[in-house]
């Protein structure tokens, strides 16, 4: 679960570190009050933690919902990074005719050489 968190939220964690560094820089200027660094870091850290946590919860909930929908044979749309010019998304269904399956948190098929991460999919 911790590995999933860093994989799904890695870019946001890097942005959060940059925002915290900016907060440290601004609150330690001579014109700021002596208590500004502490108050600023606490406030910014709480806000960033809240938003990153909410994003992780929403993403993992969507992954679980997509998995459930796949096993119920509902249509699922996934963004296709290979077919940018023709189609922006691909429809995936679990049926007897398709070769789609879930491995880890990815849809895989022998017909496609790249997997589709469940976090990038929605139920149609």
**Which residue matches tokens 């601004």?**
26
* Whether residue 80 has pLDDT greater than 80: no
DSSP bridge partners of 117 = 106
* DSSP secondary structure letter of residue 79: E
Tell me phi and psi for residue 15, to 5 degrees: -65, -40
Q: How confident is the model at residue 87 (pLDDT cuts 50, 70, 90)?
A: low
Residue 104 region, left (φ>0) first, then alpha (ψ -120 to 50), else beta?
Answer: left
116-117 and 106-108: which strand pairing?
Answer: antiparallel
For residue 93, the model assigns a pLDDT of 84
* Whether residue 17 has pLDDT greater than 90: yes
């Amino acid at each position: 679960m911790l590995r999933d968190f860093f994989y799904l939220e890695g870019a946001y964690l890097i942005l959060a570190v940059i925002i915290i560094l900016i907060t440290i820089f601004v609150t330690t200027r001579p014109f700021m009050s002596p208590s500004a660094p502490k108050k600023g870091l606490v406030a910014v850290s709480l806000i960033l933690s809240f938003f990153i946590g909410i994003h992780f919860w929403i993403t993992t909930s969507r992954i679980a919902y997509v998995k459930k929908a796949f096993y119920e044979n509902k249509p699922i749309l996934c963004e296709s990074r290979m077919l940018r010019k023709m189609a922006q998304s691909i429809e995936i269904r679990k049926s007897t005719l398709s070769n789609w399956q879930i491995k880890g948190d990815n849809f895989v098929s022998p017909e496609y050489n790249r997997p589709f991460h469940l976090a990038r999919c929605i139920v149609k």
